[in-house]
Structures are given as structure tokens and as C-alpha cells.
Amino acid sequence: MTRAVASAIYALRGNNGILLYKNLGTNTFATEDIKIPQIDNLGIHVVAFVDINNDGWQDIYVTSYGEGKNYFILNKKGKFQNPILLEVPNTRAIVTEAASFGDLNKDGYLDFVQGNWFFGSIRYLSSKKGAETNKLVINKGLQFIEGSLAEITGPTLSTLLSDFTNDNNLDLIVGNDHEEPDIFHIGNGEGA
């Protein structure tokens, strides 16, 4: 059973790490003091609650600008003091602007898609070779295996894993910026 930590704790992105606010249940919030040196100097873009390790507690997923470093901050039974930080592979990315989670290969662990944004248009200007490529990450018991979604490029602003074909396999919708078309990708239930 997943605990409703997300309703008790709220996370906001910032230019220097993240801010956590604990709901005191009285229409007031208190700042939750956490120190995570690895992310304190990063420009955080996306913050999401997701139980990535299947322990019933909502962990925090964060993405950052610049070097494309993304992390999971593992929840220790409602606490984030001295957290375990897991780096997520995101080869050659500048920034992940969108993420979507689901068990793509049906092994009981949440896998995810990282929608990467970059400067320019794929047709005319790419800031780094491969920076525009979105990433599929398969979770093998907290060992994250990165796969390229070479045919599903950006600059991506939104992603959604959902079974829009009603075949019991998760499909992917990607919303792109500028002139790149949005993409509907039909999943096969095996992580592709």
C-alpha cells in the first residue's frame, strides 16, 4: 500500500536544490530542512513524487539544467534527512523538462521516460549531438538501464505514459516545443 506522503509533504524546485514543505494539517506548512550537497547548486526543473523502490513511500525525482543530471531522493519512512541519492542516467542531455512513470516491461518496478529539451530545432540547430534524444529508463531493482528513444526526439516539454490503444500495454505521448511534431508511440509491453 502506498502511503499518501505527497499530500503531507510538498516539494518545490529552486535555483539551489529543492524546498520541502510539510503539511501540518492546520492549513499551514513548515519548511522541512534537508541538506543534499549533490543537488544544492543545481538549477532544478522538475520535481515529482514517485515510489521508485516499491517500499510504499513516495520518493522524490528531480531533474536539473546544464549537465542534465537527474536523481531520485529516497524517502526513509517519511523522512528526507541524510537521504540516499540515486543518480539517473541521461546521456548528453541538457535538461529533462518532462518525465512519465509506468511499469513498461511489467516486472513490478516503475520504469520511466525522460523528455529532454534543448536549444534550437533538430532540423537546423542542435546544441549537442544526441541532446535532443528522449530517454527510456528501465528500472531493474534500482539499477537504471538507459535506452535511447532515437525516433522520439524533442525539444520535449511533456510526456505521458498511458494505454491509449487499450491493449494492456503502456503507450507514450510526447509533446514537443517549436515546430517538431508531437509523437504517439505504441508500446509493446516489453519496455519498447
Q: To the nearest whole number, what is the mean pLDDT of the chain?
A: 82
Cell numbers that stand for 84 in this block? 540516499
Q: What is the pLDDT of residues 165-191, one digit of tens each?
A: 999 999 998 888 877 778 888 888 776
Model pLDDT for residues 127-143, shown as the tens digit of each residue: 445 556 789 999 999 99
Give the residue from 59, 61, 63, 71 showing the smallest Cα distance to 156: 63
